[in-house]
Amino acid sequence: MKTAAIYVRVSTADQHVETETQLLDLREFASKRGFEVVKEYEDTGISGSKARRPGLAALMADARRKRFDVVLVAAFDRVARNVRHFLEVLDELNHLGIEFVSLRENIDTGGPLGRAMVVIVGAIAQVEKQAIVVRVKAGMRRARLEGRQIGRAPLCVDREAILRDRERGLSLNQIAKAQGISKASVCRLLKELRDNVSKGVEKAVSGCARGKELIESRPAA
């Protein structure tokens, strides 16, 4: 009986249903193939574009210790969204003599055809991702041309009132509640206001110094 490791990943921490779905499908597949699942590895709330993930790192560390014969995943993009990183993982597993099985793509690297399909499908996935990025950027460019707001709208608050309230001794929480904004926004706005004041003072001092230099440099009458 071959021993198997299961790896699952979801991008956000609240996708518990998706995590359980992946696990149930992979456990059922392992049972049908007669694999003994020795360990399950999980990364929650981590994008597939990030190469450093605790669950994946633990999986690869145990792979190097030859603790299982097969790695089971629900889909290629659960391992990585970047073709280069994806193939690096597969290359190492292949070098260690560990098979890789993906349910969605119906790929098993136990044979040469499976390995070839992995490379082809991985390349297609990368092209698709790049196409999505291009479409998103084009949509954002069009939105700017049409004058639509992109991202978070600017805060509409009385900045001078915030500064006055802070000078009167109000706490950050009190100011945030009065203005209907977060404490972090109050901190950021206060910093911006103080930086602007500081720059204004520096500019005035610099102007005075320059005026003094001009006066002193004039020849005596």
11, 31, 182, 217: the active-site residue: 11
Residues of the chain with CATH 3.40.50.1390: 3-131
Smallest CA-to-CA distance from 115 within 97, 83, 90, 81 is with 90
Topology (CATH level 3) of domain 3-131: Rossmann fold (3.40.50)
- Hey, how many other C-beta atoms are within 10 angstroms of the C-beta on 207? 10
pLDDT of residue 152: 62
Residue recorded with tokens 């993906």: 102
Structure confidence by residue, pLDDT tens digits, 53-85:
899 999 999 999 999 999 999 988 888 877 778
Angle at 44 between CA 49 and CA 51, to 5 degrees: 25
- pLDDT for 214 equals 47
Reference 68, options 91, 40, 29, 109; nearest CA is: 40
What span, in angstroms and rounded, lies between the C-alpha atoms of 22 and 203?
A: 61
Residues with pLDDT less than 70, the chain: 13-15, 48-49, 51, 111, 115, 118, 121-122, 124-125, 149-156, 197-221
CA dist 68 and 100 (Å) reads: 11
3-state per-residue secondary structure call for 72-141: EECCHHHHCCCHHHHHHHHHHHHHCCCEEEECCCCEECCCHHHHHHHHHHHHHHHHHHHHHHHHHHHHHH
- Catalytic: 206? no
Between 159-167 and 183-217, two packed helices, what is the crossing angle to 10 degrees?
90
On whether the pTM is more than 0.95, the answer is: no
Query: Is residue 66 within a helix (H) or strand (E), and if so which, with residue range?
Result: none
